[in-house]
Structure 1
Amino acid sequence: MTTVAAYAAPAAKAPLERTTIERRPVGEFDILIDIKFAGICHSDIHQARDGWGEGIFPMVPGHEIAGVVSEVGPGVTKYAVGDRVGVGCFVDSCRECEYCEQGLEQYCAKGMTATYNALDKDGEPTYGGYSTHLVVDENYAVRIPEGLALDVAAPLLCAGITLYSPLRHWNAGPGKKVAIVGLGGLGHMGVKIAAALGAEVTVLSQSLSKQDDGLKFGADHYYATGDPKTFQELAGTFDLIVSTVSAPLDFGAYLSLLKTDGALVNVGAPEEPVSMNLFSLIGGRKTLAGSAIGGIPETQEMLDFCAEHGFGAEIELIRAEQVNEAYERVLASDVRYRFVIDTATI
């Protein structure tokens, strides 16, 4: 075992603090990653504060991890020392079910092993990317193309793939009208990716305060959902709406914006239950769906796509000791558009 520095929440709702954790020895098919940057996802806050249920503490959050390989096990064939790699929301899966065999490890029938706040196959808790090093099986890492700087690549491991996967699955592209609800850490990546795929992109945000940014990221249109006229004007407009917000929506209102056979896909996960009138779906043969991250092959595809199109996330780089302040600013929507920890400061 190797002792490494990390930032952890010692208990639910407690401020994160500097500590040390144990990383397993590098096994035959493992790689050791010197973590360079770790993004802060809203889901880190949900879990560190028990918003999605009881967590495992102490908790080291972080599943937007970018770094460099510093050691490889004797059986490793995919990576070499010095390679630039990333790790996202999971670090293992059963590897045998129909979903794992299709490269859809995020939907593993036996449950993927989350990068943090989970138990590994040996029964030990997993610890995430707010740390200096990570040991992971080579099959659960992805290669970061040279065209992407590591700091702006880190958020792609969750925010990027969380938007890329549904946009690809529901065929966003030329001739399709796509709306992104919310222009935050997830939403700004949705706009960039949907625009790069060739779709006509609209941002639906509470206000017009980020309109200039949305248009700069590639949106064709920008509307304020706080204005009731928006829902009248855009009724029956979209083939696909992707909601990135983590607060309950008026599903009836948003479903009214879809064309017949359109889909409203949720990637934001509110802590509270939501309700809706099913006639909102029946009337236009509409789909209300959800989508989780992506598997390893699709995550690699997403990174290559972003590198090819010359963009990463919009970030604010912070020191590790600023993490608690960053959490409060995320909750206040005071970040443009993703905090990233420089792990050299841990």
Structure 2
Amino acid sequence: MSNVALQQAVQFAIEHETVWDRDCNGPVWGVHQNDPPPWNRLYGPVHSRGPVSGTILVDGKTVMSWGEPKRADLTFSVAKMYLALLAGVAFDRGLIKNLNEPIGKTLKGIGFDQGNNALITWEHLLQQTSEWEGTLFGISDQADRYRAVTFGDKPNGKKGDARPLQAPGTYWEYNDVRINQLSLALLHLFQRPLPEVFREAIMRPIGASEDWNWVGYDDAWVEIAGRRVQSVPGGSHWGGGMSISSEDQALVGQMLLDEGVARDGKRVLSADWIKRMQKPCALAPYYGYLVWLNHDRKVFPSVPESSYFGVGAGSSFTWIEPENRMVVIVRWLNSAFADQFFGKVFQAITKG
């Protein structure tokens, strides 16, 4: 490994910071601004961000950190990966017995009871093929119909228009309202706040800090087992979401790299679940269970096909590269330069 080459890669990231303002009250900040009214506003709390930061692990050892790696910053849609981990906890505990069974058979009265919604399975939600229809905490799924994402196929309509819905499992669409519906379903499944379950089942076993925070929208409160509980979103599209440090994200990535085992040897998730997360969706082979896959190296051509990613707006990345035992966290990188940065890191670590 060339330390000089790795330092140059990090400097490249620092020089290509996101165009977003550091102040969350600035004119260029967030993705809600791209939504049609009335959904082009924040529904939950947010906070200002730090500089380009990151942490790189190789074989479980930190080889480079920069910026403010201990700062808990909003990670936007990387939180979807964390929902996938919670689904894995539910699966391993037997709370989800069949990923292809309609959710409405076991969870009643939360939006899976009628029409096409009654046909939606856990796998549909995890692969973003559910076509769930409804309004959740004041936001309609229509807000994210026809949504364009960097790595997906370009939609043939205008964002927020009433795209005709298809049968569950027949159409792929990146839709944050449907992800939040998954989060609500997991909340009802566990009968406990998801941050509590995440801390107990994932974060403490991997040795993470207690500095992270996962919050919901202002009006996202429901009653669970006699408690008033906040349902948390799988990102920060409309505010809320997961604030977490690069170092803690790296620990999550290392657990995934080690197929569900924490650094002390304790099993956190089954290896079977980690493999399921990386199974390509038939409709979108670049997507697994709420993670991006480097199918045919189309997402990031400069790194191996075995790589997979958590990706958040802004941009935040969790890159897991199994073949070379790498975990790379980078926060607030201009996404237009992500492939170049990853390529530089990959070359520095593998070629020297």
Same fold (TM over 0.5): no
* Alignment TM-score, normalising by the size of structure 1: 0.26
Structure with larger RCO (C-alpha < 8 A, sep 6+): 2
Q: Which has the higher strand share?
A: 1
Give the TM-score taking structure 2 as reference length.
Answer: 0.26
